[in-house]
Structure 1
Amino acid sequence: MDERFTVMASAGSYLSEGGEHVRLPHRWTPGGVEVRSAFTGGHVLNLAVAACVLNDLYREAEAAGLELRGVRVRAEGGFDPSVWRSTGISYAVEIDSDEPPARLEALIAAVDEVAEIPRALRQGAAVTRSAG
């Protein structure tokens, strides 16, 4: 049985008022980033993907001269509880912008290639305990 862990990271025009979320400062957005997530290991792992994609969308948009009013990234993944192995993480992106859809799709595709956390997870990583 696959247990699912869903998170959302939002910025700009996708920020909400009220509700259960945490607002954190963000380099590219004056209102910060809103995080909706439970605090479990599965949620935090998926949040790392959502946060990285959101950050990189703003970074790459700035470099390309694209204006984004808002970004929302929803990430979801599961674990096989019999061995606590990830069954994979997927994410979906929403962008509020007047930029042409083809430019936004190209931005999303470019970020999918360069986003550091998804890239690291796709390669696999050793996790070890240190003495200190």
Structure 2
Amino acid sequence: MNDDFGVVVSAGSLRSGGERAVRFPHRWTPEGVTVEADFTGAHLLHLAAAGCVLNDLYREAAGLGITLDGVRVTASGGFDTGNWASTGIGYSVTLDSAAPAADLDRLLDVVDEVAEIPRALRAGASVVRGPR
């Protein structure tokens, strides 16, 4: 088993300044987001989960009237390299905000419930190749 598939996405005051960070435009932040990830299938799977959580933090914060100055989401997990089955994905969030801790905790709970990619992964998703 290999657990070395960590990724980091960040925005606002928590954007990465590292030379390996790739920058992308972002709907909710004028400076865009930074992504730190290798380009493997395992990393991309984790990046999908982390990116979705970051996006939904900004979306849900706006709906709750919470200002986020910065967001960093780290996701990682293992793969059984014998059959390349995921052993699960874990993520953690760092927020930079003047909002009360209780409001930020509520935001994290809401996002954990509604984030589309984590929800699809938790439910199990069918992947089918189409015709040539």
TM bracket (short chain): over 0.9
Contact 1:2–1:87 at 8 Å: present in 2 too? no
The aligned length equals 132
Q: How far is the alpha carbon of 1:24 from its aligned partner? A: 0.3
Q: How far is the alpha carbon of 1:83 from its aligned partner? A: 1.2
Residue in 2 that maps onto 1:63: 63
Unaligned runs of 5+ in 2: none
Structure 1 residue runs of 4 or more that deviate by more than 2 Å after TM superposition:
1-4
Residue in 2 that maps onto 1:20: 20
Q: How does 1:16-55 map to 2 (within 5 A)?
A: 16-55=16-55
Instruction: In structure 2, give the amino acid aligned to 1:40.
Output: T
Please give the root-mean-square deviation of Cα atoms over the aligned residues, in Å: 0.9
Structure 2 CA distance, aligned partners of 1:64 and 1:40? 36
Q: TM-score scaled to structure 1, two decimals?
A: 0.97
Unaligned runs of 5+ in 1: none
Contact 1:20–1:36 at 8 Å: present in 2 too? yes
Structure 1 CA distance, aligned partners of 2:4 and 2:20? 19
Q: How far is the alpha carbon of 1:18 from its aligned partner? A: 4.2
Residue in 2 that maps onto 1:91: 91
Q: How far is the alpha carbon of 1:129 from its aligned partner? A: 1.1
Instruction: In structure 1, give the amino acid aligned to 2:92.
Output: A
Structure 2 CA distance, aligned partners of 1:2 and 1:87? 9
Structure 1 CA distance, aligned partners of 2:16 and 2:8? 12
Residue in 1 that maps onto 2:74: 74
